[in-house]
Structure 1
C-alpha cells in the first residue's frame, strides 16, 4: 500500500513539475523572448481619469511637430558588437550647436528608438547630439531575448565610449523610459567616465524580479513562487541571467551622478512605490518628481510644460556644476 502511495505521489510530483515547466516557458515567452506581441499588462487608458484623453492638445501638437522633425533628420547608423557577439545598432543625430553635449535615450519594453522621437526633439532643441540605441532584442539590433536593462547596461557603456571617442562628447546625459529607465539606473552603478554628467529615469522599476512578481499578482492574481523562480532558471539557461541579478535598486545604491527620478502617480504597470524606493536607496545627488494623474510613462503627456521645465532645470543645474 505504501509503495502505491509513494508511486502516486511521485507521479503527481512529476505532473506538477511538468505543468510548472510549461507555465514557466509560457511566462518566458511572454516576458523575455523577442517578438511576442501579447502585452503583460493592461492598457494605460485605465490609469487616466474617466473620460480623459492620454494626450492633451498641447502634447498632440508637440508630438506631431516632433514626428515631422524626426522624419526629416539625416541619421548616422552606428554599430557595435556586444560581449556575447550580438550586432547592436543605434541612430545618431548630429547637432551643430551641441558644444560637446549629448544624450543617450533608452526606450522601453518591446519598443524601439523611433518611440523616443518626442524626447529626441526636446533634447535637440536644447542643443544636444542624440544617440538612439535599439536595445538587444529590439528594433534593428540582434538578440532573441529582452535583457530588461541588465546585459544592456554593458552595451550602454560601449555606447558612452563611442560618443566620447568618436564624437568628442564632453557632457553626456542618460534618459530612459520604463525598461529604459531601469537600464540607465543599472548603468549608474557601473564605473562611469567623467563625461557622464546626469541621469533621468522615467517610470523605472526596482528589479525585474519585483516587477514581474507585481505583474503576476496584479494581472493574474498569482503568487510569484514557484512560477517566477522556475521562469528565472529558464531565463538563465536561455538568456544568460537570473531575474534576481537584474536589479536597478542594487546598482543605483552605487550611483555617483545627479539623478532625476520621474514617475506617474497613477502608474498601473510599475507602482509608484518603486520610485520612492529607488529615490531612498540611490547614492549621489537625487530628485524625485511624481506626477498626479499620470499613468505609465505618461508624465510628459500629462504635464508637458512642467515636464520640460523640470528637465531644463536639471540639465542647467548639472552643467553649471562641471
Structure 2
C-alpha cells in the first residue's frame, strides 16, 4: 500500500508540474507575443519580416522613402515614446489636411503600419506612428503587454501631443492598437474619425474565444487569465466594451475579416452595438488577422478613403 501511495503521489506531482509549466509558458506567449522573424532591433530584418511589413521590415530610416522627423511623445505612464512624423507637404503632396495617428498591434511596433503611410499621405494627412510601451524602442518598465490597459494611456498621450498643432485628427489602429483607441475613446471627442481593424471586446473574451482555449477545462482557462493579469500587472476592467457606452461623438469605421482566427469578427459586431455614436462596418470574407489591406488593397482603400471624405469634408483626396 505504501508503494502504491508513493506512486500515486508521484503521478499527481508530475501532472501538477506539467500543468504548471504549460500554463506558465502560455502566459509568456500572451504577455510577450512575437511577430515571425521580427525582433525589436530595428536594424534586423528577416525575409519573412519583409513579406509582412515591407522592405527593411518597414524601417523608414533604412528605406529612405520618406522625409520624416524623429519625435518623442511624453506618455501619461511617465516615460517618452519614440515616433516618426511623416509630413504630407514635405513628401510632395500639395496640401495638408491634418494628421493621422497609426497605432500598431500587440507584440509589434511602429514599423508594422509603415506600408499604410503612402495611402494616408495621398489623402493629405501627415502621418505619426509611434511605439506603444514595451514595444519597439519604447521603454518597458512593466512586464509586457497589457492589452490596452497601459497602451490606452499611450494613445491618449499621442492624441494630446498632436492636438497642440493639428485641428483635424484621424486615428487608425490594429488589434491591440484598435482596442487601446477604443478604451481611450471617451477622451477623444475632437477626433474626426477612427479606423479600427480587428479590435477585441476585452482581454477575457480574447482568451475565451481563442482556438487554443476550445476543448480546455474552464478552470484551466480562467487560471491562465488570472496568471496573465497578475504577472502583467493589469486589471480587466478597462476594456473596449466598457468604454464604448461612455462615448458617442466620434465616427468609427470597424474593419474585421470573417477569416480572422485570432479575434473573431463577431467581437466587432458586438462592439458596434455598444456604441451610440456614428459607426460603419466592413466585414470582408477575406484576410487574416491584421492583413486585410494586403488581401484586397483596392477595396480597403476605397472604403477608408470614402470614410475620411465623409468625416473631414475633404474633396481633393485621391
TM superposition score normalised by structure 1: 0.77
CA distance in 1, matches of 2:182, 2:59: 31
User: Are positions 1:245 and 2:237 aligned together?
Assistant: yes
Which fold has the larger relative contact order, with Cα–Cα distance below 8 Å and residues 6 or more apart in sequence? 1
Q: Which residue does the alignment assign to 2:188?
A: 192
Q: Which residue does the alignment assign to 1:141?
A: 138
Q: Which residue does the alignment assign to 2:26?
A: 27
Query: Secondary structure at the residue paired with 2:247?
Result: coil
Alignment of 1:222-237 (within 5 A): 222-223=215-216, 225-237=218-230
Q: Which residue does the alignment assign to 2:205?
A: 210
CA distance in 1, matches of 2:95, 2:166: 9
CA distance in 2, matches of 1:236, 1:296: 23
Q: Which residue does the alignment assign to 2:160?
A: 161
**Structure 1 regions of 5+ residues with no counterpart?**
39-59
**Partner deviation per Cα, 1:275-317 (whole Å, 9 max, x = no partner):** 2111222220001111123322332122211211111111111
Number of matched pairs: 287
Given that residues 59 and 111 in structure 2 are in contact (C-alpha distance below 8 angstroms), is that contact kept between their aligned partners in structure 1? no
Distance 1:231-1:316 versus aligned 2 partners, 3 A rule: same
Q: Which residue does the alignment assign to 1:309?
A: 302
Given that residues 23 and 227 in structure 1 are in contact (C-alpha distance below 8 angstroms), is that contact kept between their aligned partners in structure 2? no
Distance 1:34-1:291 versus aligned 2 partners, 3 A rule: closer
CA distance in 2, matches of 1:316, 1:297: 24
Distance 1:288-1:238 versus aligned 2 partners, 3 A rule: same
Given that residues 24 and 231 in structure 1 are in contact (C-alpha distance below 8 angstroms), is that contact kept between their aligned partners in structure 2? yes
Given that residues 34 and 108 in structure 2 are in contact (C-alpha distance below 8 angstroms), is that contact kept between their aligned partners in structure 1? no
TM superposition score normalised by structure 2: 0.78
Q: Which residue does the alignment assign to 1:56?
A: none
Given that residues 173 and 199 in structure 1 are in contact (C-alpha distance below 8 angstroms), is that contact kept between their aligned partners in structure 2? yes
Structure 2 residue aligned with 1:77, among 70, 73, 76? 70
Q: Which residue does the alignment assign to 2:196?
A: 201
What do you get for the CA RMSD once the two structures are aligned?
A: 3.4
